[in-house]
Structure 1
Amino acid sequence: MQASFPSIRPVIMCGGSGTRLWPASREAFPKQFAPLLGDRSTFQETLLRVNDPALFGRPLVITNKAHRFVVERQMHEIGIAGDVLLEPVARDSAPAIIASSLHVASHDPEAMVMVLAADHMVLDPPGFRAAAAAGRAAAMQGAIVTFGIVPAGPATGYGYIEAGEITAAPARRVARFVEKPDRATAERYVAEGFLWNSGNFLFRPEIVLAEYERNDPESLAAIREALTRANRDLGAPVFDEDSFLRARKTSFDYAVMEKTTRAAVVAGDFGWSDIGGWDALWGITAQDQHGNAARGDALFTDSEGCYVSSEDQLVTTLGLKDVVVVATRDAVLVADKGRTGEVKGVVETLRKQGRSEASHHARVYRPWGWYQTLELQDRFQVKRIVVYPGGRLSLQKHFHRAEHWVVVRGTARVTVNETVNDLTENQSTYIPLGAVHRLENPGLIDVEIIEVQTGAYLGEDDIVRLEDAYQRA
């Protein structure tokens, strides 16, 4: 007779800035939201991977409050509903996992928790689900199950797990975790049957909470208080910042897994990658006969082992070997493929120089949609603005600029002082300096406008919000 198990609540960790994948990934719009391999983001692919009601319950996403509208938009795009918890500040993985476990325990006491990173890629979703199902018996018996990946080779960019005796088959006790090795040690680990540490976990919430209580009761108390005192922002809980800051900033591996005697591992071989750098993305992207891989418009000539990612323009290579070229609208990276792990240092240098490209893309996302600057000169700026169906900008005015709007797609509802009009394609309006105005999308398709600003000062801080649907006023 087949054992009966409670549902698994997926907890999707959606923090992190992904600076190793700069310039495609930046703090304001990190890699988990970008379509790096196909048409969907890795966050969306993660949600779809656990969209199996026979195995998984309602997903819970924990993210920074700055990304809540991107999270909700991308969930809406693929038709998946879930709960969202908002961190006021990042405190690493342990406080986030503990807060999520407390939430699940209070709302769905019988459920197990499966922690997944939103920025990992899995090429074999059925294989992943089979591994998740295989870990349930051990988790029900009180193990904290992690998923070890059968190595594709002696990689030096991953931590490793040595598996011990069988606990609840196919789960085995974790004999030890080891840090990222050098090449020779990695070769030995692979030969001895070690597994890559994927950083995904399955457990009963009360087990992990008890372990955390034993190791760090002060942090657990702070996280409980942060949840109890959480504010609600348009329906989503935002942890109390003062309480959350009292929790120790640390990883779940260090806070729990390296200290517990309950760690178990299930081996999996489902095409996993943490996409830790451009070299890793090259490794899981389809390649031509010379080992070249591309996303976007690329032409390889007399080149070998190269990777190109291009957002808008053609990129060509000539006579290159093992080189990465990433071209976005406002920045280009050219790097030795073997050194892409050092891109994080490039980003730090840009930050020290005060360069906005370190953290922000040319396309800026807002709760209502996004905008992109097409041209910026001394006294004028041209923007492309897209407003999602139902989206509405704040009721606002400017002290230093006037604006001209031309609708190029959809139906735009435009407020200028006391006048409200619906404008369609090829219609335009003028917003005088100081006029109170708003742009809305009452339709079912995106509204797209071209905005021309003119004036002595064109900065984004020249906005006086009088009313705002997203509580920014």
Structure 2
Amino acid sequence: MRTIVLAGGSGSRLWPASRRSFPKQFLSLCGEQTMLQATIDRLAGLDNDGMVVICNEEHRFIVAQQAVAMGTNTDAIILEPEGRNTAPAIALAAFEALDGAAGESPLLLVMAADHLIEDVAAFQAAVALAKVQAEAGKLVTFGIVPTSPHTGYGYIQRGVSLDGGAFVVSRFVEKPDLQTAQTYVDEGEYYWNSGMFLFSAQVYLDELKQHRPDIYAACEKAYAGKTRDADFLRLDKEAFAACPDDSIDYAVMEKTDKAAVVPMDAGWSDVGAWSSLWEVGDNDAEGNVLMGDVLTQSTRNSYVRAEHRLVATVGLEDVVVVETTDAVLVAAKDKVQDVKSIVNTLKAQGRSEFLHHRHVYRPWGVYDSIDNGDRYQVKRITVKPGAKLSVQMHHHRAEHWIVVSGTAKVTIGENTIMLTENQSTYIPIGEVHALENPGVIPLELIEVQSGSYLGEDDIVRFEDRYGRA
């Protein structure tokens, strides 16, 4: 059995903590681990023969770094040139699994990187039950035993029973209204659709080829044109761009006669909105979930998250407050699904807050945009030991670098110099330059940019360790 982790979501309903360049699966929302790391961690103890992560190209270094940080190796990180939903993503993982299987078809445990599962033992027990049915040729989905008439989830109705506590899937149901959802819960034959699966790679591809031959053909062509770069597997971009966008539910599971469901009661949540974190959090005596430096007075049944400064609330009830370095969200708890519309507005207005945080992560480290104005911008840059930024130049800006701590190896044109604490240098407009940390501790410096245009796209890369040149 191999695990396939789908890590390509945008998490827009968890703005402002989640941004397109650093979405919720890479955040620590429910503990010290990020959601991706928690997903990987719950595999410990399973009979798992490897792991493949599927993500967007722009997130590849985040995935690699978070896996390495917990001592985990991935068999491959498949990079999607653009999102095409779950049916194509899983098809790519199936082709990759069969590529090195020596004639055998491994089972694929498909999981989302941004789900919460509190009872790992119950999850692993459900996987063991599902494995029996997957080995018998079934496409198994995990149905969450409902705890409420939730209208934000699709439902699965079970049919006749199978061996070991599994059931044939009778039908999949779209997100219902409240009255219909209550009927489903009362009947006891319906489960929330978790979006997790277990099946044979070959069986999945056979069913996809039968029911959506267009998706199968596009993915087969995209995979055939693959290239490998260390742990990264890149696809034929043109072939994948031609692939239709569809979910595994619509493309395969609702059409196949091989669908089975295994009930799972493991404290699951897809963390689809801020209200989900209130539901699974540790409530205080007033029903509040408080994260960070928070003071409350006459506040009840609310979720308040302070990431960088003190947040105080007075006289609030059933609200969500989320503070980050560059944005604050205040919303009625029953309206947090509509946060996505705020993100769409930010995007339409061309504002950076939909795209990234003030802290922006790069494969070499991180930078924090601490100030900006007309024709200038100030960043605090941290470079990891041994890391090097690309050899580059800018058409429209000059840069001043002041070292705060550590050692900087700076190349400007044909000259290379070493800078230490309190030393500085200047890079004129149009000068080819590079920055490297040759030391064993992080390099921290202040960068002051000045010029007529300060956008991140004013970078011409000539050499780069991370394949961005």
Tell me the TM-score normalized by structure 1: 0.94
Q: Describe how 1:384-423 pairs up with structure 2 within 5 A.
A: 384-423=380-419
Distance 2:292 2:70 in 1: 23
Q: What displacement does 1:357 show?
A: 1.5
2:421 paired with 1:428: no
Determine helix, strand or coil for the equivalent of 2:67: helix
2:98 is aligned to: 105
Letter in 2 for 1:78: M
Distance 1:208 1:174 in 2: 16
Distance 2:66 2:467 in 1: 21
2:125 paired with 1:133: no
Tell me, yes or no, if the aligned pair for 1:410 and 1:424 is still in contact at 8 Å: yes
Distance 1:197 1:232 in 2: 34
2:214 paired with 1:218: yes
Tell me, yes or no, if the aligned pair for 1:135 and 1:170 is still in contact at 8 Å: no
Task: Give per-residue Cα distances to partners, 1:435-459, cap 9 Å, x unaligned.
Answer: 3321112334432222122334433
Tell me, yes or no, if the aligned pair for 2:359 and 2:369 is still in contact at 8 Å: yes
Match of 2:293 among 297, 309, 314: 297
Match of 1:79 among 53, 71, 86: 71
Distance 2:361 2:169 in 1: 43
Tell me, yes or no, if the aligned pair for 1:397 and 1:435 is still in contact at 8 Å: yes
2:158 paired with 1:166: no
Q: What displacement does 1:155 show?
A: 1.2
Q: Describe how 1:225-244 pairs up with structure 2 within 5 A.
A: 225-234=221-230, 236-244=232-240
Q: What displacement does 1:234 show?
A: 5.0
Task: Give per-residue Cα distances to partners, 1:291-312, cap 9 Å, x unaligned.
Answer: 1112221111100011112221
Q: What displacement does 1:431 show?
A: 2.9
Q: What displacement does 1:237 show?
A: 1.8
| Cα distance change on mapping 1:362 and 1:276 into 2, 3 Å | same
2:5 paired with 1:20: no
1:324 is aligned to: 320
Distance 1:390 1:271 in 2: 42
Distance 1:126 1:446 in 2: 39
Q: Which moved more, 1:226-235 or 1:174-183?
A: 226-235
1:69 is aligned to: 61
Q: What displacement does 1:73 show?
A: 1.1
Alignment length (residue pairs): 465
2:113 paired with 1:118: yes
Match of 2:35 among 19, 37, 42: 42
Tell me the TM-score normalized by structure 2: 0.95
Q: What displacement does 1:380 show?
A: 2.6
Q: Which moved more, 1:427-436 or 1:19-28?
A: 427-436
2:177 paired with 1:185: no
Task: Give per-residue Cα distances to partners, 1:230-259, cap 9 Å, x unaligned.
Answer: 233455221112211232210000111111
| Cα distance change on mapping 1:132 and 1:459 into 2, 3 Å | same
Distance 1:443 1:110 in 2: 47
2:257 is aligned to: 261
2:467 is aligned to: 471
Tell me, yes or no, if the aligned pair for 1:412 and 1:422 is still in contact at 8 Å: yes
Tell me, yes or no, if the aligned pair for 1:415 and 1:421 is still in contact at 8 Å: yes
Task: Give per-residue Cα distances to partners, 1:360-416, cap 9 Å, x unaligned.
Answer: 222222222221210102233210112223321111223443322233343332223
Letter in 2 for 1:14: A
Letter in 1 for 2:64: E
Letter in 2 for 1:385: I
Tell me, yes or no, if the aligned pair for 1:55 and 1:133 is still in contact at 8 Å: no
Q: Which moved more, 1:281-290 or 1:232-241?
A: 232-241
1:271 is aligned to: 267
Determine helix, strand or coil for the equivalent of 2:179: helix
Seq. identity, %: 50
Distance 2:36 2:408 in 1: 30
Distance 2:388 2:70 in 1: 22
Q: What displacement does 1:432 show?
A: 3.7
Determine helix, strand or coil for the equivalent of 1:169: helix
2:282 paired with 1:282: no
Q: What displacement does 1:351 show?
A: 1.9
Q: Segments of 4+ in structure 1 off by > 4 A?
A: none
Letter in 1 for 2:183: R
2:85 is aligned to: 92
Q: Which moved more, 1:57-66 or 1:373-382?
A: 373-382
Q: RMSD in angstroms over aligned alpha carbons? A: 1.7
Distance 1:400 1:91 in 2: 36
Tell me, yes or no, if the aligned pair for 1:229 and 1:240 is still in contact at 8 Å: yes
Distance 2:234 2:148 in 1: 42
Distance 1:130 1:423 in 2: 56
Determine helix, strand or coil for the equivalent of 2:283: coil
Distance 1:192 1:444 in 2: 62
Tell me, yes or no, if the aligned pair for 1:292 and 1:300 is still in contact at 8 Å: no
Determine helix, strand or coil for the equivalent of 1:132: helix
| Cα distance change on mapping 1:426 and 1:132 into 2, 3 Å | farther
Letter in 1 for 2:27: A
Tell me, yes or no, if the aligned pair for 2:212 and 2:252 is still in contact at 8 Å: no
Q: What displacement does 1:434 show?
A: 3.8
Letter in 1 for 2:22: F
